[in-house]
Amino acid sequence: ANAALLAAAVLALNDDKLAARLDAWRAAQTAKVAAEPTDAP
């Protein structure tokens, strides 16, 4: 997964549409993280 994200980031350097999609995906991933950690098993 990390290699794919790195490849997408490199390609996004020359592709504004891809850069916008990558930024949106990263923002969505960040939004999924709980503001407060829980001790769920």
Q: What's residue 35's pLDDT?
A: 82
pLDDT, tens digit, 9 for 90 and up, residues 1-41: 899 999 999 999 999 999 999 999 999 999 998 888 888 77
Residue 11 neighbours by CB under 8 Å, 6+ apart: 18
- Per-residue CA distances from 1 to 4, 6, 8, 35, 36 (Å): 5, 9, 11, 24, 25
Q: What is the pTM of this model?
A: 0.77
Residue spans per domain, the chain: 2-32
Q: Tokens standing for 25? A: 């995906």
Residue 22 dihedral angles phi and psi, to the nearest 5°: -65, -45
Q: What pLDDT was estimated at residue 30?
A: 92
* Sequence-ordered strand ranges (E) for 1-41: none
